[in-house]
Amino acid sequence: MTTRDGEGDETLRGTEAVFTEEHLEEHSGAPVLLDSAEAVDAMVDALIAGGPLRNTAHLISLDRPLLPSGRPDHEFLVGVRAGGQVGILSYSTGDEGALIPAGEATTPVATYMVVTYPREFLEPTEVPIGLVRQAVKEFVLSGGRRPTCLEWREEPY
């Protein structure tokens, strides 16, 4: 039984991942459920294989609270650059704002495709694919908490 802290009885419900419109059709209109490290690896592998039009997933943890509007209180974007060597992460909540990995910008602007829509990241810090996998696993297996395997900074706008 998967739990938030690895102990106790609180079972995690998982994280919904949306890749592209095609993925929605393949899954009968439902997001992909990530509930294990293996599911995360399969999603990252799909992003690597997906090319430039299918390179980002929008993740929502089912274990975090909803806002009074019924919308999620967060979002986690996971993108993989062509070639699969580096990727981008973006974690957003109403309390913390929009965060990206800390460090020197790797390019002035990076464009990733989020469900067929371009998403530009200004001055992003792209990170190695192994760290992308680690951060997503931590997000999924912690019940949607901000990953601590890397440092974060406010995303410039």
Asked if residue 35 has pLDDT above 70, the reply is: yes
**pLDDT tens, 105-145?**
988 999 999 877 899 999 999 999 999 999 999 999 999 99
Residue 5 within a domain? no
Res. 47 pLDDT band, cuts 50 70 90: very high
Residue 7 lies in a domain: no
Please indicate, yes or no, if residue 8 is contained in any of the structural domains. Answer: no
Q: In total, how many domains does the chain have?
A: 1
- The number of beta carbons lying within 10 Å of the beta carbon of residue 75 is 16
Residue 3 belongs to a domain:
no
Specify the pTM: 0.88
What range defines the domain where residue 67 resides?
15-154
Averaged pLDDT for residues 66-85: 92
Look at residue 10 and tell me if it is in a domain: no
Q: Are 121 and 110 in contact (CB under 8 A)?
A: yes
Residue 58 domain flag: yes
Q: Is residue 68 part of a domain?
A: yes
131 found inside a domain: yes
Q: Rounded CA gap, 157 and 65, in Å?
A: 27
